[in-house]
Chains A and B, each alone.
Chain A
Amino acid sequence: MPHAPIRLDALRSLLAARFPEKSRGRGAPVRTGVAGIDAALGGGLPAGRLTELVSPAASTGGQTVLTRLLVSSRAARQRVALVDAADGFAPEAVPADALRHLVWVRATALADALEAADLLVRDGNYAAVVLDLRGVPERPLRRIPASGWYRLQRAAEGGPAAVLVQTPFGLVPAVPWRLVLGAPRTLADAGLPQEAIAAGIGVEVVRGHESAREQAG
């Protein structure tokens, strides 16, 4: 059957056009489900790279971003790992079905969290690895050696996983993308559907440029 591969390609293209959400390619960006962030990153979290999301104050929407990422990646049936350095993730805040693709690592020490992230980024089975450092005191965060971050970046390079690092302040040296969440939300948002809140989350790109976006794409 000399023409079989051609027909198979045509079939794949057809299916990709009909079911775009199913036909993600290896290395495609991982959508967060937060329009402002996906637009800033050119489609979603870039695979094989670190993206830093800074929550400079309480209630700026960092946890809602994580929740929307879980919902969005669940819809695409992508596997996600969460390394929770301060053990703050609340499963009850996420729809039960949006947890079934998640591997949650409840770290007890910062060093363990960093080592866990290193293992998961190299694993090759995850579309996204989230390292949540919010809630960790500032001093130990500042003491993370730059070499540790470079090691994580090199581990991510060329791999299939998009790596999201959530931090309370700009922390990761030479990170390709650093986004800072905007002003804290108010209690007026309490009754809104989470999709509506996510649509209103604003980010400022303080690090990242067109070339990084092209590479990410």
Chain B
Amino acid sequence: MNCPGYAVLRVGDFSLRSLIRGDAALAGRPVAIIAGEGRLARLAEVSPEAAGAEVGLAAGLAMARRPDIILRTRDPAAEAEANRLLVAAAFTLSPRVELTAPGCCTVDLQGAAPERVRALMDRCLAELARAALPARIGAGATPLLADYAARRSGGVLIVDDAREFLRPLPLGFADPLPAHAAILADWGLATLGELTALPKAEVGLRLGAEGVALWERAAGETRRVLRLAEPARTFVAQWAYEPPVESIEPLFFRLRRFAERLALELRAAGFVAETLALSLSLEDGTEHRREFRLPEPGADVDSWLRVLQTHLESVRTPARVTGVRLGASPARPAQRQDGLFDTGLRDPAAFWENLARLSALVGEGRVGTPAPADTHEPDAFTLQRPPEAVPAVADPPVHGPRGLALRRFRPPRPARVLCSGDRPVGIESEVAAGAVCRARGPWRECGRWWEPGGWEAEIWHVELAAGGLYQLARGAEGWRVEGVLD
């Protein structure tokens, strides 16, 4: 199974979902978001409970059809809070996340272990659903393909065969200009597959550059660079009540929402909370503050809420609450006991997960702990699985390393070497060129001479008059610059 490359997290009817998530009174009720004012106000997003009302309907008509419908305008604060939750959830999939639009995140999955991707996505959706922000995930080879998949998905949809997936999708997915949409309809084209069945160049001839771009969007080929978001660095959430509240329920509801978001942000950044700081702003201008040291540092919402609830049930404030603020101080999770001489892994899960991602990124067999091979052959080593704990230090070698350390050119660079007698006096190569002012050598090395594939080389260390020390080797393939002594 190949890694899909990109994933898109999308929350449908984002403004409405954010609003309902932030107001306990709206859950399970017929609610709609209206856009426009006065008589021009129309329904922009409608909850499934508001059957009979539909998007685009005039607000007055909707109220006539559904007298119990609750009409609201968008709530920027609730949307900002939901966006932060969505970004935190996206960071559980990969550290490379873009907030593409409100309610939509694009995630770069390149390098992720394919067998883990699906499980991570399922867990991510479950986290969001628990936090009352149901989302969908689509994944594909390009950000655009992943976006199409997310729009089509009911949960998680990973596109393996792009052509087959795109074929039945309506043309509207590729956002054609209205004029082009009309032309394509005249041509009898209704799906992306029908459009991409036409030669791209012919479409370009008839519809121009925008036609070519449309064809590429229809084929899901459009690529772009993500504008990466930063993971949360501060873990604070706050809310202002209008009107002020005087009971514990709305306060506790808001704190639950804060805790869901903060816990996810902490986990995505590899932290847990050590302390929680609660602050209530009161109508008389005073403030009630309390800091809680958690019995065990963690990012578990229910354990945080138990601590907060226990405290809030005993609090009597002299005035109504106008605002609430919750902060969490981050700490590294103690995955295992840290001893004085401890040299094991602090976070084994992150360590092995990242090694797998690095292998996927740079190639299998290019990540690990190097170990010299049992031969004198140049550049012979193996890469091994890193140890769980750094082993005890061995006795130092009797003869420690001498001279500057070698830095290799892989592969060694061919060189033309001018010799006086058998000593190099000048070199010419893509990495070093000039007169040689000093040279040491030769050291003659050979190995496996008793079988085919044996090797031998004559090693020289040279200093160029212009500066720089290089290791040269003369073998069956002629002179080569093996590396720089640095």
Contacts and interface: CB of A to CB of B under 8 A. Distances in A.
Decide whether A and B assemble into one complex: yes
Nearest to B352: A125
Contact of B401 (A94, A101, A189): A94
A209 interface: no
A123 interface: yes
B407 A103 contact: no
B230 interface: yes
A59 B347 CA distance: 38
A75 interface: yes
Contacts of B463: 186-187
Contact of A58 (B343, B368, B394, B486): B486
Nearest to B343: A77
Contact of A77 (B332, B361, B393, B400): B393
Interface string A116-141: 10111011110000000011000000
Interface in A95-125: 95-97, 99-108, 112, 115-116, 118-120, 122-125
Contacts of A15: 340
Contact of A59 (B228, B370, B397, B484): B484
A107 B409 contact: no
Which range holds the interface residue count of chain B? 35 or more
Interface string A160-200: 10000000000000000000000111110111111101000
A206 interface: no
Contacts of B355: 103
Contacts of B396: 95, 97
Interface string B398-442: 001111111111100000000000000000000010000011100
B2 interface: no
Interface hub of B347, B357, B393 (most chain A Cβ within 10 A): B393
Contacts of B378: 92
Contact of A154 (B233, B439, B467): B233
Contacts of B357: 119
Interface string B435-451: 00011100000000000
B467 to A, nearest CB: 4
Contacts of A66: 405
| Interface secondary structure of A, over-half rule | mixed
B404 A103 contact: no
A189 B403 contact: yes
A87 interface: yes
B393 A75 contact: yes
Interface stretch (B11-19, B304-312, B379-387): B379-387
Contacts of B379: 90, 92
B410 A88 contact: yes
Which range holds the interface residue count of chain A? 35 or more
A96 B371 contact: yes
Contact of B362 (A88, A106, A135): A106
A203 B168 CA distance: 64
B469 A186 contact: yes
B176 interface: no
Nearest to A64: B405
Contact of A88 (B345, B371, B401, B483): B483
A89 interface: yes
B405 A63 contact: yes
B358 interface: yes
Contacts of B21: none
Interface of B: 95-96, 111, 228, 230, 233, 270, 330, 332, 338, 340-341, 343, 345-348, 350-351, 354-355, 357-358, 361-363, 366-372, 378-381, 383, 386-387, 390-394, 396-397, 400-410, 432, 438-440, 461-463, 467-470, 483-486
8 contacts: A58-B469, A67-B405, A91-B370, A92-B378, A97-B397, A112-B361, A122-B95, A124-B346
Interface of A: 12, 15-16, 22-23, 26, 55, 57-64, 66-67, 74-75, 77-79, 87-97, 99-108, 112, 115-116, 118-120, 122-125, 134-135, 147, 151, 154, 157-158, 160, 183-187, 189-195, 197
Given A59-B485, A61-B404, A95-B396, 12 more contacts: A77-B390, A79-B390, A87-B408, A92-B380, A92-B381, A100-B369, A104-B370, A105-B367, A112-B361, A116-B362, A119-B358, A125-B347
